[in-house]
């Protein structure tokens, strides 16, 4: 092959071209290796927590309904109706019950049967009927509504009705009521002359008269007792006249059996300036001539009685008596009763309650022993 002489300039160009081609042929670091394929990115979705099942709220049970029926608007402080209502409120609160009060005085008809029917139809499971004058209506309602329990306050027991329970006769200690009044009269009198108005011819009147007599003797052995006998417990005119008759005998303390005639007599006596002792109402705040009051206390008995009924039990009959804790002197005394007399009366109550002191009256006949 003939030797070709390349000019120097051409040789230099060819050398530079060779170097450039060699550089292009050398692989760049890392590019000669295969690049691994990228894995597709799948977004991670966090699972939602399982939703709790929706619970429907349990229906709220209807509250127990206790009915109360009585002459409320006309009830004085310390009366059976007023204290029964107080006891009903205590019972309802203790057992988380609702109290449905029907005031007979507020009804156009003033019909006890209609009043009882109103609370019965509203769903009362227990109905309290307060007052001796409502006994017939309470018993009739117990017969008409055998599924409802009835509580008669100051009403006689009736064993023929399984759903009728009572606070009252038989067994009310009228002799104890009168004994307390007599003891208080004997401690306060200055004339040593005391009086009582009773309705004659009945065992109850004898219990009042002889209980009062023995109470006076217990605290004032030389006091003289004057008795006015009334023929009609509702004769307010005769009751008023009894106060004047006792005043003429120089009596300065008077007591009377509870009722329209007796109450009118005590009101007249207070107006005449005599001291009076109330029974079945607390009017010590109404007149400064009141010494005190003897009260039957259904407010102390009803809560326990209602509790037994709600527990499915049949409560025993309970009379108003010191031993049963539902007979007492009112807490309020008149301004003329000294602290010493109040303490002495507290002692008398305790002794009668425990049986250490006896009234001296035969309970069956009302006569003195």
Confidence of residue 63 (pLDDT cuts 50, 70, 90): confident
Chain segment 193-210, per-residue pLDDT in tens: 999 999 877 888 999 999
> Average pLDDT, stretch 321-338?
94
**In percent, how much of the chain has pLDDT > 70?**
83
The upper half-sphere exposure of residue 125, i.e. CA atoms within 13 Å in the direction of its Cβ, equals 13
Q: According to the model, what pLDDT value does residue 311 have? A: 94
Q: Which residues of 335-351 are buried (b: 16+ CB within 10 A; e: fewer)?
A: eebeeebeeebeebbee
The CATH homologous superfamily to which domain 65-167 belongs is Response regulator (3.40.50.2300)
Contacts of 257 (CB under 8 A, 6+ apart): 197, 198, 199, 204, 205, 208, 233, 279
E strands within the chain? 65-70, 98-103, 126-130, 149-153, 164-167, 193-199, 224-230, 253-256, 275-279, 290-296, 327-329
Confidence of residue 284 (pLDDT cuts 50, 70, 90): confident
Given this chain, do its domains 65-167 and 174-295+338-354 carry the same CATH topology? yes
* DSSP string across 140-187: HHHHH-TTSEEEEET----TT-TTEEEESSSS--HHHHHHHHHHHHHH
Confidence of residue 223 (pLDDT cuts 50, 70, 90): very high
Which of the two residues, 33 and 188, has the higher pLDDT score? Answer: 188
Cβ-contact 64, 309 below 8 angstroms? no
> Average pLDDT, stretch 222-251?
95
Contacts of 8 (CB under 8 A, 6+ apart): none
pLDDT at 313 over 60: yes
Contacts of 339 (CB under 8 A, 6+ apart): none
Cβ-contact 173, 327 below 8 angstroms? yes
> Average pLDDT, stretch 18-45?
47
Confidence of residue 144 (pLDDT cuts 50, 70, 90): very high
First to last CA, the chain: 176
Confidence of residue 1 (pLDDT cuts 50, 70, 90): very low
pLDDT at 365 over 50: yes
> Average pLDDT, stretch 141-167?
96
Q: According to the model, what pLDDT value does residue 290 have? A: 94
> Average pLDDT, stretch 218-228?
97
Chain segment 71-93, per-residue pLDDT in tens: 999 899 999 999 999 999 999 99
Supply the mean pLDDT for the chain. Answer: 87
Q: According to the model, what pLDDT value does residue 216 have? A: 98
Q: According to the model, what pLDDT value does residue 44 have? A: 53
Which residues on neighbouring strands pair with residue 290, listed in sequence order? 276
Q: Which CATH class is domain 174-295+338-354?
A: alpha beta
Cβ-contact 294, 278 below 8 angstroms? yes
Q: According to the model, what pLDDT value does residue 96 have? A: 94
CA 175 to CA 327: how far, in whole Å? 12
- Domain map of the chain by residue range? 65-167, 174-295+338-354
pLDDT at 48 over 90: no
Q: E strand or H helix at 217, and its extent? A: helix 203-219
């Amino acid at each position: 092959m003939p030797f070709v002489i390349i000019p120097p300039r051409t040789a230099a160009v060819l050398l530079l071209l060779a170097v450039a081609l060699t550089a292009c042929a050398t692989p760049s670091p890392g590019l000669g290796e295969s690049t691994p394929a990228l894995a597709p990115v799948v977004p991670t979705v966090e699972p939602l927590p399982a939703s709790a099942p929706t619970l429907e709220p349990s229906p709220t049970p209807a509250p127990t309904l206790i009915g109360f029926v009585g002459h409320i608007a006309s009830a004085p402080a310390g009366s059976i109706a007023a204290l029964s209502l107080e006891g009903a409120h205590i019972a309802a609160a203790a057992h988380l019950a609702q109290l449905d009060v029907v005031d007979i005085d507020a009804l156009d008809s003033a019909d006890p049967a209609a009043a009882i029917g109103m609370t019965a139809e509203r769903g009362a499971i227990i109905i309290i009927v307060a007052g001796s004058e409502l006994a017939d209506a309470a018993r009739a309602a117990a017969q008409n509504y055998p599924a409802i329990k009835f509580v008669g306050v100051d009403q006689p027991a009736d064993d023929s009705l399984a759903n009728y329970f009572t606070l009252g006769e038989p067994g009310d200690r009228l002799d104890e009521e009168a004994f307390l009044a007599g003891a208080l009269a004997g401690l306060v009198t200055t004339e040593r002359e005391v009086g009582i108005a009773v309705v004659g011819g009945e065992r109850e009147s004898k219990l009042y008269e002889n209980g009062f007599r023995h109470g006076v003797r217990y605290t004032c052995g030389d006091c003289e007792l004057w008795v006015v006998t009334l023929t009609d417990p509702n004769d307010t005119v005769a009751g008023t006249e009894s106060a004047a008759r006792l005043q003429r005998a120089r009596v300065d303390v008077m007591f009377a059996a509870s009722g329209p005639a007796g109450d009118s007599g005590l009101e007249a006596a207070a107006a005449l300036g005599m001291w009076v002792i109330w029974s079945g109402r607390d009017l010590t705040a109404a007149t400064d001539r009141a010494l005190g009051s003897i009260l039957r206390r259904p407010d102390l008995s009803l809560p326990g009685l209602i509790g037994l009924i709600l527990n499915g039990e049949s409560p025993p009959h309970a009379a108003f008596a010191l031993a049963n804790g539902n007979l007492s002197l009112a807490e309020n005394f008149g301004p003329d009763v000294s602290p010493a007399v109040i303490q002495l009366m507290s002692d008398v109550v305790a002794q009668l309650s425990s049986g250490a002191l006896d009234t001296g009256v035969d309970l069956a006949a009302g006569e003195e022993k």
